[in-house]
Amino acid sequence: MSIYRHMNGRIEERASRSGRPLKIAQLAPLYESVPPKLYGGTERVVSYLTEALLARGHQVTLFASGDSTCRAPLHPGWPTALRLDGLDRLGPSYQLRMLSDVYERAADFDIIHSHLDYWSSPFSRLVSTPTISTMHGRLDLPELYPIYQYYRDVPVVSISDAQRCDLPELNWIGTVHHGLPANLLRFSPAPGRYLAFLGRICPEKRPDLAIEVARRVGVPLKLAAKVDNIDRAYFDGVIKPMLSPPDIEYIGEINENEKSEFLGGALALLFTIDWPEPFGLVMIESLACGTPVIARPCGSVHEIIRNGVTGFVTPAVDDLAACVLKAERLSRDDCRREFETRFTAETMACNYESLYCGLLAEGSLPGESFPDDRLRSAAAPPALSAAPK
């Protein structure tokens, strides 16, 4: 059966892998709108995936905050995004009502796709409609292991192979890397004259290391990042004293429309994380702009960045600084080509579509094995000194 999609103003016929359009429920966290007004990784991915599935001819219903603007029919779980209303602490409680709404009408859907971590797991056992749960967060918190173990039969998807390391025994049915709309961010062919840090100001993202690297090489650094309430003390006590505009400049949160200029105008993106990053959306945003990434080898980094081609991956501050001096030699065309080949929203939607169809055809896919070499490649880098007090 053929379905249709719009591309650049024209209609293109395309065959669905399922043989028919699927009726899909997408469940997004209520913390941000879909897409987010400012920062919001998971909600942004849900937006891109929803739009790409619609373009592939599927019938998608979005369960999200009421201020979401995706093209799919919207069933609001709460009138507005919780974080910007100062209600983020109540997220789990408010999402329970949305989950009840979804699963009370589960028979209306072929697939329920949850982006709420383990919160949908108890509901999924009560209906015949299959649920697929994408794990967007870190899985290395031992206090949560009993919950994951109890629901280990639920089909789950990783956003990187490295994300599985702490819970390889779950019912992993696949890994799907995030993707962005191909024309979302502009390609910038010429390198800029500053370094970029984009994301959140928090201890595990180590913006202090990015500042140290920039100072060692004498290249200006711009930090475009949000500060959550839980990280306010870290920002005020650690990062703010290190700022010295214009050399080290904090510019706050930026929206989607500002990212092309911010990332495209940079010499390189500094991704100086010190935690098992499940994916790192900012890395592919940078590649989309043609800007190489200089990162520490934590979590998913080795899966996203090709060392010496689309960036550099190394653990030590001295080596990170040396890589800044080599960043201009890397091909920005290669960075953009890597994005177009591996990390578009169309590729992401196609991969999820395959998983949906596998669940529908087989009832449930067996968990995939997790090769030992992937476990080794995801090992943490040598420890650095603690963040300054």
Return the CATH number at 102. Answer: 3.40.50.2000
More confident residue, 334 or 90: 334
Let me know whether 295 and 265 are in one domain.
yes
Q: What is the pLDDT of residue 173?
A: 97
Task: Give a yes or no: residue 359 inside a domain.
Answer: yes
Lowest model confidence (mean pLDDT) among 81-85, 273-277, 338-342: 81-85
- As a whole number, mean pLDDT of residues 234-243 equals 97
Q: What angle is formed at CA 328 by the lines to CA 332 and CA 205, rounded to 5 degrees? A: 85
Give per-residue pLDDT as tens, 87-139. Answer: 878 778 889 999 999 999 999 999 999 999 999 999 999 999 999 999 999 89
Let me know whether 323 and 225 are in one domain.
yes
More confident residue, 380 or 119: 119
> 95 by DSSP, 3-state: which?
helix
Name the domain count of the chain: 2
Q: How many C-beta atoms lie closer than 10 Å to residue 28's C-beta?
A: 31
Let me know whether 166 and 23 are in one domain.
yes
Q: Which two tokens stand for residue 181?
A: 């709309």
Let me know whether 86 and 225 are in one domain.
no
Let me know whether 24 and 149 are in one domain.
yes
Let me know whether 175 and 27 are in one domain.
yes
Let me know whether 300 and 200 are in one domain.
yes
For 159, 185, 367, the CA distances from 303, given in Å and listed in that order, are 10, 21, 21
Residue 328, domain extent: 195-341
Let me know whether 254 and 366 are in one domain.
no
- Closest by CA to 286, choosing from 311, 306, 309, 308, is 311
Q: Which two tokens stand for residue 171?
A: 């019912």
Let me know whether 267 and 329 are in one domain.
yes
- As a whole number, mean pLDDT of residues 310-322 equals 97
More confident residue, 229 or 274: 274
